[in-house]
Amino acid sequence: MSRWLSKHALHIYGVLAFAYIFTPIAYVMVFSFNQPARSNLTWRGFTLENWTNPCGAPEVCSALGNSLKIGLASTLIATVLGTMVAFALARYRFRGRTPTNLLIFLPMATPEVVLAASLLTLFLNLRVPLGTATIVIAHVMFSISFVVVAVKARIASLDPRLEQAAQDLYANEFETFRRITLPLVAPGIAGAALLAFSLSFDDFIITNFVSGDVNTFPKFVYVSAQRGIPADAYVIGSAMFLLAMGLVLAAELFRWRRSRRL
């Protein structure tokens, strides 16, 4: 018994650790089926009502719509700009590489509240009206670095012989890039875009500083925490979780099956 225990201690620990990680997620999911009331803190009974009408509470869905819009816009901009920087850093040596790397690293190493406070002082000084545009600006700013690091790692892992082979077969530089390099880097770019979107969609701290009157989903949840969050917010939280997990698991399954075929 004790030998079995010492042999499997790490596995038992793993099960407990994942139980810990999933406890709050399970809570959110379970409470999305709670009978609606002013607040969603105690269990009152099972219902599907929240799931069939997730926009029941005022403002939930408009806040969600804003978050999706902001997320898509900032993901698009951050992915394009970050991928470009990643190619420059991964492919060439040039003077100013080290300061560039530092500039990419620093936003990730600065507490969000400092990023938020400094951006807000900029907007206040220039009298820029706060709203959707300032949120997108902020989200792109903190997402770029993550995109650069993710895409750079993918480019660095490519086999350089594939590109050499293309050039040996008389492909010019542009054709090599379009038909060989880009398709190979694409999964990395897609992963970076997913990361950028989830960073933007879930951001509360910076958004709260630079959003003015515009409501986003995390802001809606935070503000209504004082007087009670409607169960609809739990439905949206659970649905986003299931959607994202589904996407990631499907991609994983796809990769696994492809690697088995090879």
> Rounded to an integer, what distance in angstroms lies between the CA atom of residue 240 and that of residue 194?
13
Concatenate the DSSP letters of all residues of 128-175 into one string. Answer: PPPSHHHHHHHHHHHHHHHHHHHHHHHHHTS-HHHHHHHHHTT--HHH
> Rounded to an integer, what distance in angstroms lies between the CA atom of residue 139 and that of residue 126?
19
Q: Of the two residues 165 and 205, which places its CB atom closer to other proteins in the complex?
A: 205
Least Å distance, CB 65 to other proteins, is 15
Which stretch in 44-52, 54-62, 105-113, 178-186 sits in contact with other proteins by CB under 8 A?
105-113
Q: Of the two residues 11 and 258, which places its CB atom closer to other proteins in the complex?
A: 11
235 touches other proteins by CB under 8 A: no
209 touches other proteins by CB under 8 A: yes
Out of 19, 53, 58, 106, the only residue in the binding site for other proteins (CB under 8 A) is 106
Out of 36, 56, 107, 212, the only residue in the binding site for other proteins (CB under 8 A) is 107
> Where in 68-97 is the site for other proteins (CB under 8 A)?
80-82, 84-85, 87-88, 91-94
SS3 32: coil
65 touches other proteins by CB under 8 A: no
Burial 106-128 (b: 16+ CB within 10 A, else e): eeeeeebeebbeebbeebeeeeb
Out of 37, 41, 186, 250, the only residue in the binding site for other proteins (CB under 8 A) is 41
Q: Of the two residues 41 and 186, which places its CB atom closer to other proteins in the complex?
A: 41
Q: Identify whether the C-beta of residue 112 lies closer than 8 Å to the C-beta of residue 206.
A: yes
CA-to-CA dists, residue 51 to 31, 36, 233, 239, angstroms: 11, 11, 10, 9
Least Å distance, CB 253 to other proteins, is 10
SS3 40: coil
Q: Of the two residues 145 and 181, which places its CB atom closer to other proteins in the complex?
A: 145
Out of 55, 130, 153, 190, the only residue in the binding site for other proteins (CB under 8 A) is 153
Least Å distance, CB 47 to other proteins, is 18
Out of 113, 162, 182, 250, the only residue in the binding site for other proteins (CB under 8 A) is 113
> Rounded to an integer, what distance in angstroms lies between the CA atom of residue 56 and that of residue 67?
18
132 touches other proteins by CB under 8 A: no
> Where in 8-37 is the site for other proteins (CB under 8 A)?
10-11, 13-14, 17-18, 20-25, 27-28, 31
Binding mask 154-193 for other proteins (x = CB under 8 A): x-x-------------------------------x--xx-
> Rounded to an integer, what distance in angstroms lies between the CA atom of residue 248 and that of residue 250?
5
Q: Between the CA atoms of 111, 114, 115 and 121, what dihedral angle is there, to the nearest 10 degrees?
A: 180
> Rounded to an integer, what distance in angstroms lies between the CA atom of residue 224 and that of residue 152?
40
